Structure 1
Amino acid sequence: VTRVGTILASNTSSISITRIASATSKPHRVTYESARSLAQHLGKSVCVSMDRPGFLVYRLLMPLINEAFFLLSEGVGTAEDIDRSMRLGTNMQSGPLRTADNI
C-alpha cells in the first residue's frame, strides 16, 4: 500500500515492534541502530528495552498510578496530597494522578 522507501515508524508502547515489522515485506529494515543513530543525532538520550508491552516507562508507571488511585479510593489521602507527596518526595514533575490525566 506504500511506496518503496516509505518509513514505517511508531511511538507505541503497547503493540510489539516485532509484530509491526512482521507485517512488512522487509522486516529487517526496521532496525534499532537506525533509530538509535537518529535519536543521538537529534541530541536525545536512548534507553534500551526488550520488545515487551509497556517497555520500561509504562511498566513502571502503571502500577504507581494504580496504587495512587487505590490510596485515593481508600481515603488515605486527597488527590492533591498524593500528588504533592510524590512531587516532593521523589522529585517527579507531576504526581501520579495528574500524570494519569495527561496520558
Structure 2
Amino acid sequence: LGPVPGTGSVTVLIEPERGKALWVVPGDVGAVGNPPTELLRSPFAQLVYQPMSERVVVQGLRPGRYTLVWGYFHAEMPGSGPVVRSVDVPTQGEVSLR
C-alpha cells in the first residue's frame, strides 16, 4: 500500500543526531520554544524521533502549508534553538534543515 491518492510528500534533509526529532505540523506555526514541547500538544502532527538517515521522506500529506521543526525532543538546544521552516506541499519537494 502507498499514500492516499491526491496526497503529497516532502523530503527533509537533516544531520541525524541522538535526541533530535522532526515535527511536521499542518499550517504556519509561530515561534516554538527551546525545547519545542508545545508541539506535543498539537491537535495533529507527524513526529519522527531520532531519524537514522540524512534523508527523511514524509508521505501522505494533504496539499497545503506545513511547518517543519528540527530540534531536541526533551532538552534545550544550544544557540538559537530548533530549526523551523515552512513548506508548501506538493510544490516544494525537498527542504534542507542542516
TM-score (norm 1): 0.24
The structure with the largest helix share of the pair is 1
The structure with the largest strand share of the pair is 2
